[in-house]
Amino acid sequence: MRNIFSGILSLFLTISFAQNNNSELVDSIIDQYRKNPKESIPLVKEKIANLDSKDAYLTARYKSYLAVLYRDSGLFTDSKELSNEVINSTKDSIILGSSFNNLGAVNRKLGAYEEALDNYIKALAIYDHLNFKPEQATVNNNIGLVYSYLGANKKAIEYHLKAKESFESLDNKKGISEVYNNIAIVYANDGDLEKSLDYFKYSLQIEESLNDIKGIAESQNNVGAVFYYLQEIDSALVYFNKSAALERRLKNFPGVADSYNNIAQTLIETNRVNESKVYIDSAYYYSEKYNLATGLESALYNYSSYFEEKNDNKKALQYYKELTKFRDSLVSVETASKVAEIDVKYQTEKKEKEILAQRAEIAEQELDISEKKSQMLGLGILAVVLGLLGFLFYNQQKLKNRQLQKENELKDALLKIETQNKLQEQRLRISRDLHDNIGAQLTFIISSLDNLKYGFKLPDKLSNKLSSISSFTSSTIQELRDTIWAMNKNDISFEDLKVRLSNFIEKADKVKDTVVFDFKLSKALPDQLSFTSVKGMNIYRIIQEAVNNALKYSEASKIKVSVDKTKDELLFSVNDNGKGFDIEKTDLGNGLNNMKKRAEEIKGVLDIKSKTSEGTEILLRFQY
């Protein structure tokens, strides 16, 4: 649902064009910007093209202004590139402050919250130094918003209250409106929807008193989102449609895309499926055109829901796969960027080490030359004195070389530790994102389904379908928790794995009371045994899949899970006394094939033995 977690808080730049003689053109550009930023872009471009190439200050001023127009027109990539160009080309504090602030707003729209926070903090440092009160208040408000996206609600409130105090002292109604909007977001994140609705309405009232069309549109969308979560669907649709109409009037097509996604989702969930298709199509078109990650994600989700309701399961699955692939690509791009950053630092350290080694080699060569010269200077006492000096110099150089070598070894050790820490921080951050975002969304789905089942008298068929979806979602949450468990660790001890397996078997035993479980560990297993997080997770998944297959298909009365070892191999086995199957005549499904692939990934072997009426044994073995 758009904008309840993505309020637009832009720093409205008051750009001084004192050095511009053509003040009428500047006034017309600013007036046009207030009406429609997209139509202002060619005017500013033309002005930049006509500027004196030697006037670097005025050129930077206009370019920083153009970057803001790009951002408010949804051209985020262009805005980001131009702001970076301005930052690299000027030392003017005012221009740098506005450019860093614009970068923060763009990165926030693109979902790069940590980068946005860094940009905003740099902007705030400049405005603190200049003692620019309105700009300080606005950036404090923006920082609070980013903290709320990152789930740090206490920090978010801290910065919002700083901004509110400053805006009230300045009697800045627009700023107060934005603070109310952002405090409402924090309450929404905490689940207090009634307070969130009150603050969004306060913000809307101020925007209406200011007649700020853009602010009114965003506030209407936020109010609609809260009504949606409160299940007041008619009110939600009224506000979403109002917001979409104003965004169309402004030609702010990214905003139109978000509003259409909200309307489509609401229509689908209220059984008005046929009406939703045109909104999804438009939302997807604008999101793809303006590179809106959140808009594309919502549109793909809505397509999947639409075709599921239309009983076109093939297309529903197709769009769900595209949605999953899209989400994975976002995580992969961010992770690759972090790893590249660490690798660049490592390569820099490596170059420094090579330079030090070359210096040491040159020093040794100089020492050899010095020794040869000393041997040629003469005989007797003079030769002894010179030789002694050479010897002392040689020992000193050797000491320096040893010191350089130790410094290199220390740098290598520190670099290795830093690289490991960076990668671990990345894993932890991703696992937190999975837990806080996807986990919370899945939990909300389960709660919503339960409310539907117990709050309304539903037909049996629909109630059963909701129960099935709730059960599937609960299973998905458990799978997510298992993944987070592995991601949070560099190494998984055997003790951790044993506890995880024991909990899983205990749950399976409760679900299937007709099956007797036996979990045995050999006494010959090593006391200290650990696996990498990847290996530990694959072992757990293989055993989990084997047990689930036995429960689903074998009709067994007894399932035995055991762990043993030979001289150099660990053995994990799952045995059942069920009906078995003929391996030669049975087409192995995705489950067994996935188990084999997991075994190959950890350089292990998966053996499957089964006979009709005699049961099945699945054995995983690998060296440790």
Distance of CA 614 to the CA centre of its chain: 49
Residue reference for tokens 């070894």 = 409
d(CA 445, CA 459) in angstroms, rounded, equals 20
Q: Count of residues for the chain?
A: 624
Q: What's the distance, Cα to Cα, between the start and end of the chain in Å?
A: 48
Q: What's the Cα-to-Cα distance from 362 to each of 349, 355, 402, 410, 616, rounded to whole Å?
A: 20, 11, 14, 22, 70
* Phi and psi at residue 191, to the nearest 5°: 90, 5
How many angstroms separate the CA atoms of 138 and 163, rounded? 7
Can you read off the two tokens belonging to residue 598?
Answer: 């997991």
Q: Which range, 98-107, 211-220, 387-396, is most confident?
A: 98-107
Which of the four pLDDT bands, split at 50, 70 and 90, describes residue 12? very low
Pairing of β 605-611 and β 615-623? antiparallel
For residue 586 the two structure tokens come to: 């049975």
Paired tokens of 393: 């110099």
pLDDT of 432: 58
Q: Residues 584-593: what's their mean pLDDT?
A: 75
Nearest to 499 by CA among 485, 479, 478: 485
Q: Which of 178-192, 202-216, 399-413, 521-535 has the lowest mean pLDDT?
A: 399-413
- pLDDT-above-70 percentage for the chain: 74
pLDDT tops 60 at residue 360 = no
Q: What is the mean pLDDT of residues 465-478?
A: 68
In this prediction, residue 341 carries a pLDDT of: 46
C-alpha–C-alpha distance, residues 468 and 196, integer Å: 32
Helix (H, G, I), strand (E, B) or coil at 491: strand
Sign of CA dihedral 266, 268, 269, 270: positive
In b/e form, how buried is each residue of 93-126, taking b as 16+ CB within 10 angstroms?
A: ebbbbbbbbbbbbbbbbbbbbebbbbbbebbbeb
Q: Which of 33-47, 179-193, 421-435 has the lowest mean pLDDT?
A: 421-435
Q: What is the pLDDT of residue 99?
A: 93
Share of the chain above pLDDT 90, in %: 15
398 vs 201, higher pLDDT: 201
User: Minimum mean pLDDT among 16-20, 137-141, 420-424, 481-485: which range?
Assistant: 16-20
With bands split at pLDDT 50, 70 and 90, how would you rate the model's confidence at 606?
A: very high
In degrees rounded to 5, what are phi and psi of residue 467? Answer: -65, -40
Whether the pLDDT of residue 468 is over 90: the answer is: no
Q: pLDDT value at position 347?
A: 44
Distance CA 13, CA 226 (A): 31
User: Rounded to whole angstroms, how far apart are CA atoms 240 and 243?
Assistant: 5
Map out the domains of the chain with their CATH numbers: 1-245 (1.25.40.10), 337-455 (no CATH), 489-623 (3.30.565.10)
Percentage helix, strand, coil, to 5, in the chain?
75, 5, 20
Contacts 24+ apart (CB under 8 A), 15-20: 15/61, 15/64, 15/65, 15/98, 16/61, 16/94, 17/58, 17/61, 19/55, 19/57, 19/58, 20/58
0.85 exceeded by the pTM?
Answer: no
Identify the band that residue 577 occupies on the pLDDT scale cut at 50, 70 and 90: very high
